[in-house]
Amino acid sequence: MNRPLPVPGKRAVVLLSGGLDSATTLAIARASGFACYCLSVDYGQRHRVELRAAAAVAGALGACEHRVLRLRLEDFGGSALTDASIAVPVAGLQPGIPVTYVPARNTVMLSLALAWAEVLGSRDIFIGVNAVDYSGYPDCRPEYIAAFESMANLATKAAVEGATLRMHAPLLNFGKAEIIARGNELGVDYGLTVSCYQADQDGRACGVCDSCRLRRAGFAAAGVDDPTAYFVS
C-alpha cells in the first residue's frame, strides 16, 4: 500500500495496545500525515501477548518509533485484566461497568503519552477509544476525552507557552463494522492484532469475552472475513 509521507515536523503520539481499534487509529493518524510515535504500556495485563501484536502493527504501519513502558497496575488489582483471581466475564455484554475495567487506565496512559509528546515537541495525541460498540468503560466517553484535553492544556509547559495540545479520538463515534471498514481502506492487517482479554501465548482468542464478541460481530456486520485465530470455536 502507498502510504502518504508524514508532513515534516508533524509528530503525533499514538497509544497502541495491539488491538483492532488502536491499529486502525494508527493507520488514520498515518494517513493524516503524522509521523507516528507509538506508545504501548505493559501494565501487568493478563493478555500481555497484545504487546507483541503492538510491535508487529507498529512495524507494518510505518511508525517512526515504538516504545513499551512497564508499569505495575497489577499491584493495585481491581480488574479482571490485572488480577488473576477475578474471572473474565464470558456470558456476553451486561449492563453496567464490567470487571474488565482497569481503574484509571486511560488517564494513566494518556498522561504518559502527554509527557512524551512534550519531549517530542508534538501537539497531537491519538487514542483508539470508542463509545459505540464498547464495554461501557467511563474513560472511553467523549466528555472524558474533552476533559483530558482541557487538563493537558492547563498542565503542561508546552501549552502554557502557546502550543495547544489536541486529543484525537477518531473512532469515538464509530461502530465496530465502521472501524473495520475504515481500517480495510487504509490497509490494516487485522490478522496482526490481538483483542481478546484472555488470549493465549500464541495470540489465539477465546471468542467469548466481551472484546471477542464485539470484534466478531464487527467483522460479520462489515462483511469482512475475520482473520482472528480462536482457541474456542
Q: Which residues are annotated as a binding site for Zn(2+)?
A: 196, 206, 209, 212
119: Cβ contacts below 8 Å, ≥ 6 apart: none
Q: At which residue does the C-alpha cell 508499569 appear?
A: 71
Q: How far apart are CA 180 and CA 23, in angstroms?
A: 10
Binding residues: 16-26, 196, 206, 209, 212
State the burial class of residue 58 (Cβ atoms within 10 Å of its Cβ: 0-12, 13-18, 19+). Answer: buried
Binding residues for ATP: 16-26
CB-side exposure of 33: number of CA atoms within 13 Å?
4
Question: How many other C-beta atoms are found inside a 10 Å radius of the C-beta of residue 91?
Answer: 9
Q: How far apart are CA 31 and CA 53, in angstroms?
A: 21
CB-side exposure of 81: number of CA atoms within 13 Å?
24
Q: How far apart are CA 143 and CA 113, in angstroms?
A: 19
Coil vs helix vs strand at 25: helix
